[in-house]
């Protein structure tokens, strides 16, 4: 945008509103729609001046305040309670401490919001009158309501509210939606084991998925126990149609349950790589072929044993089995799985065999064409999980976003309660504020633990698992902001060191806090079934790790040996797509995808501009209409703009321009300090089978437990690029062979 600014961003709010309204040709004093036009006009100026995002947010905050009307926080809660939106315990707590709670509210904290962030809060999170849809709470009331829903005292509410209002830490969306609400479903993720291979069990799972999804939970479900196509059904002497028809039904169910109208229902299905229907499974998201054998709402993930990856590397054959013939394989991992799998092969139980590289190539093709078919690694997940100390405790899958790893069985639906620290809010000109980061971790862990007791559970299987294991998932967002502020390129050695230390500081403090909670309330009921009870912490699975604080880890081990842990699992890095928008920072541990782009959400389209880049260009006198237009023409890239100095071009590379090896190396270095997993997207503008084969093999060799989406662009070019290399199984197999046997020629990891 080359349009001149209509008023300086630091002008008075009335002056800015009049100027924006004048440009839009409306009078903001008359009608809400006209005020919205003025706000939209301010937001449109972001491409020329990022500060106008804050200006538009201030205008929106003013509009929200007028919509809510007079009265404080307690009055807002009382009004919401009268409409059945607030639970009785919350209403009594607020009424008993009304004056103290009203005094906590700091409406000036609204100035921290970007327009995108506040718009998201306004459209999706603030409580509304069920009939008129009028907003009943202001943004700071919203934060304080969430805090009060988890607090046992005013002091506790103030502590959590302070973190949230400063955008230093945010719980996940279900907690933001429902804390203090009439039905406080606070958990983010639910993981269901594969149903037994029985009609009644399968339909029971459908019902569980629907109930969990109804209350805003993301679903992960394994389907590895269900028999494959052509399997004999002894009761009828017929043959099974395999897993695809069942997943079609699940697909329709997920689409029908839209999480209370707030966001679309979502589920991911996991299948073990040896299942005889694996090839049909990999076709479920294809855009071609018979639609009756496609699913359009389910995400797909491969649950991959090490034995398969070893056979890919060795160019050996891989056998596929009907799970009815090898039911033991689902519940085995590591050496026990390897031995049982080979024994089944030797006994002639395989449905059929194929070159491992051919199947691996088909996996890569699915990733390239759909972004789906995520590569998640069964043995790494089980080998390092605190919950798998005893036989029978098995991790069978991850969740919708691949950051949760917990045991499941027929009677246990794994649950996780998430929250993320905004690293940008803990960074100053000299670097990370480590003391403040640790203080935030201590508060976050205590309140994440509290969600387990305050939450509503849609199924008894979820309640049983969550109260026994008490897992939580503390994550981060804003790593890219930290690196921009400290002027560290994403692939620099200094960025790797800093990222790893951040992970260590969080894990070290989280374990210490959980031990303190165990001293106060007792360890979680299943503690004696964990590796920690045997003296093994997650870090101990990486003997080559070099922690910054070995002495403190020794102290934590002693404390855990004395007190136990309140939580079986503590760390998980979730995608944070929505809460990072609220906090005004970059998502989780990801690099930026562009320096200038439009983002489409349920709240509309929003223009986003890298404010760090703009500040640097302003300092050097380079933020000109010509440079702005050049960045727009380059789709947000600065790499080919000669006027921009080389150091800035290196710092402000996008995810598409960074070597993916750097992203994998960062994730691998964090892994010893993440006792669940991390949602790791990988980016490749024009993926090929060869590049992907090398990249995911490197991720496996690096010890990653899971990966998430493969992001690619543009869609038309992706299809052309990948199909030319994967149109036949032979071509896919040849591409895999080339990349694995000649890794130095692969561009993906360089």
d(CA 402, CA 400): 6
- In terms of phi and psi (left: phi > 0; alpha: psi -120 to 50; beta: otherwise), the region of 69 is left
Question: CB–CB of 338/713 below 8 Å?
Answer: no
Catalytic residue among 87, 178, 393, 399: 399
Cis bond before residue 436 (omega within 30° of 0) = no
Asked whether the beta carbons of 140 and 66 are under 8 A apart, the reply is no
Q: Residues 6 or more apart from 434 whose CB is under 8 A from it?
A: 505
State both tokens at 3.
Answer: 């349009």
Query: Around Cβ 96, how many Cβ atoms within 10 Å?
Result: 11
Residue with tokens 């499974």: 281
According to DSSP, the β-strands at 317-320 and 352-355 are antiparallel
CA 622: distance to chain centroid? 36
534 closest CA partner among 386, 384, 407, 336: 386
Residues 6+ apart with CB under 8 A from 97: 154
The separation between CA 462 and the C-alpha centre of its own chain, rounded to angstroms, equals 20
The answer to whether the beta carbons of residues 669 and 396 sit under 8 Å apart is no
Is residue 676 within 8 Å of 388, Cβ to Cβ? no
Distance CA 621, CA 609 (A): 18
- 196 Cβ partners below 8 Å, 6+ apart? 202, 225, 410
Question: Angle at CA 655, nearest 5°, toward 653 and 658?
Answer: 65
Separation between Cα atoms, residue 14 and residue 29, nearest integer Å? 11
Query: Per the structure block, which two tokens stand in for 162?
Result: 């302070």
Tell me which H or E stretch contains 698: helix 689-701
Give the C-alpha distances (Å, rounded to integers) separating 387 from 326, 343, 427, 611, 728.
Answer: 25, 27, 34, 43, 42
Q: Which 3 state secondary structure label does DSSP give 605?
A: strand
Active-site pick, 137, 403, 504, 505? 403
Q: How many residues does the chain have?
A: 750
Which residues are 192's β-sheet partners? 221
Q: Check if 401 is active-site.
A: yes
**Cβ atoms of 187 and 466 closer than 8 Å:** yes
* HSE, side-chain direction, 13 A CA sphere, residue 603: 19
- Give the whole-angstrom CA distance, residue 102 versus residue 366: 54
Residues 6+ apart with CB under 8 A from 373: 282, 285, 300, 301, 302, 363, 366, 367
Round to whole Å and give the CA distance between 528 and 479.
36
Report how far residue 614's alpha carbon sits from residue 612's, in angstroms, rounded to the nearest whole number.
5
Whether 403 sits among the annotated catalytic residues: the reply is yes
Task: Say whether 446 sits in a helix, a strand or coil.
Answer: helix
Task: Quote the CA–CA distance of 76 and 554 in Å, as a whole number.
Answer: 48
Continuous H helices in 522-645:
550-563, 577-583, 611-619, 625-633
Distance CA 643, CA 490 (A): 22
Instruction: Give per-residue burial for 14-40: e unless 16+ CB within 10 Å, then b.
Output: eebbbbbbebbebebeeeeebbbbbbe
Which of the following is catalytic: 401, 416, 585, 749?
A: 401
Residue 189 annotated among the catalytic residues of the structure: no
Nearest Cα residue to 329 out of 373, 278, 365, 399 = 278
Q: What is the SS3 assignment for 707-726?
A: CCCEECCCHHHHHHHHHHHH
Tell me which residues are annotated as active site: 399, 401, 403
């Amino acid at each position: 945008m080359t349009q001149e600014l209509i008023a300086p961003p630091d002008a008075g709010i009335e002056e800015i509103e009049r100027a924006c309204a004048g440009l839009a040709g409306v009078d903001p004093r008359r009608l809400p729609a006209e005020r919205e036009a003025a706000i939209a006009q301010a937001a449109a100026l972001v491409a020329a001046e990022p500060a106008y995002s804050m200006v538009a947010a201030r205008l929106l905050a003013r509009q929200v305040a007028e919509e809510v009307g007079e009265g404080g926080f307690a009055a807002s809660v009382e009004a919401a309670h009268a409409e059945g939106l607030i639970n009785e315990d919350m209403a009594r707590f607020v009424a008993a401490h009304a004056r103290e709670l009203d005094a906590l509210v700091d409406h000036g904290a609204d100035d921290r919001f970007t327009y995108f962030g506040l718009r998201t809060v306004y459209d999706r999170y603030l409580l509304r009158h069920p009939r008129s849809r009028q907003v009943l709470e202001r943004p700071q009331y919203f934060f304080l309501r969430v805090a009060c829903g988890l607090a046992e005292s005013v002091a506790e509410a103030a502590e959590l509210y302070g973190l949230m209002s400063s955008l230093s830490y945010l719980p996940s969306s279900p907690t933001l939606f429902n804390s203090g609400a009439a039905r406080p479903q606070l958990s983010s993720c639910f993981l269901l084991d594969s149903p037994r291979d029985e009609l009644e069990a399968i339909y029971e799972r459908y019902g569980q998925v629907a109930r969990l999804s109804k209350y805003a939970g993301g679903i992960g479900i394994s389907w590895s126990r269900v028999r494959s196509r052509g399997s004999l059904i002894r009761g009828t002497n017929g043959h099974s149609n395999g897993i695809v028809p069942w997943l079609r039904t699940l697909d329709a169910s997920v689409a029908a349950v839209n999480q209370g109208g707030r966001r679309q229902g979502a589920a991911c299905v996991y299948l073990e790589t040896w299942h005889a229907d694996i090839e049909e499974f990999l076709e479920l998201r294809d855009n071609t072929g018979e639609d009756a054998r496609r699913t359009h709402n389910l995400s797909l993930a491969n649950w991959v044993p090490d034995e398969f990856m070893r056979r890919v590397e060795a160019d050996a054959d891989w056998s596929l089995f009907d799970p009815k013939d090898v039911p033991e394989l689902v519940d085995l991992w590591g050496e026990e799985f390897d031995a049982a799998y080979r024994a089944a092969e030797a006994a002639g139980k395989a449905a059929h065999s194929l070159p491992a590289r051919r199947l691996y190539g088909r996996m890569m093709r699915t990733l390239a064409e759909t972004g789906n078919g995520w590569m998640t690694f069964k043995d790494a997940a089980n080998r390092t999980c605190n919950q798998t100390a005893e036989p029978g405790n098995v991790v069978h899958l991850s969740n919708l976003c691949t950051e949760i790893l917990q045991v499941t069985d027929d009677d246990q639906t794994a649950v996780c309660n998430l929250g993320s620290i905004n690293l940008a809010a803990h960074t100053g000109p000299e670097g990370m504020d480590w003391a403040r980061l640790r203080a935030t971790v201590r508060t976050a862990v205590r309140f994440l633990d509290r969600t387990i007791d305050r939450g509503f559970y849609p199924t008894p299987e979820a309640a049983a698992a969550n109260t026994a294991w008490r897992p939580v998932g503390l994550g981060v967002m804003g790593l890219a902001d930290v690196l921009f502020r400290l002027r560290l390129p994403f692939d620099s050695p200094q960025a790797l060191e800093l990222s790893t230390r951040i992970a260590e500081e969080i894990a070290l403090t989280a374990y210490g806090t959980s031990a303190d909670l165990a001293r106060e309330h007792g360890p979680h009921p299943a503690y004696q079934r964990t590796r920690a009870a045997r003296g093994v912490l997650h870090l101990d699975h990486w003997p080559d790790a070099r922690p910054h604080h070995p002495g403190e880890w020794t102290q934590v081990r002693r404390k855990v040996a004395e007190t136990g842990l309140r939580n079986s699992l503590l760390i998980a890095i979730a995608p944070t797509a929505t809460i990072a928008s609220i906090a005004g920072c970059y998502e989780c541990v990801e690099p930026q995808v562009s320096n200038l782009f439009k983002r489409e959400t349920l709240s509309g389209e929003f223009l986003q501009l890298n404010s760090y880049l703009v500040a640097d260009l302003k300092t050097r006198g380079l933020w000109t209409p010509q440079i702005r237009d050049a960045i727009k023409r380059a789709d947000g890239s600065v790499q080919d703009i000669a006027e921009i100095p080389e150091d800035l071009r290196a710092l402000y590379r996008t995810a598409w321009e960074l070597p993916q090896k750097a992203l994998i190396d960062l994730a691998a270095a964090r892994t010893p300090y993440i006792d669940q997993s991390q949602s790791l997207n990988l980016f490749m503008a024009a993926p090929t089978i060869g590049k992907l084969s090398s990249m995911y093999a490197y991720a496996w060799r690096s010890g990653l437990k899971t990966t998430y989406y493969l992001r690619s662009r543009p869609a038309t070019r992706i299809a052309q690029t990948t199909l030319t290399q994967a149109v036949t199984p032979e071509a896919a197999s040849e591409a895999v062979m080339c990349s694995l046997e000649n890794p130095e020629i692969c561009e993906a990891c360089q």
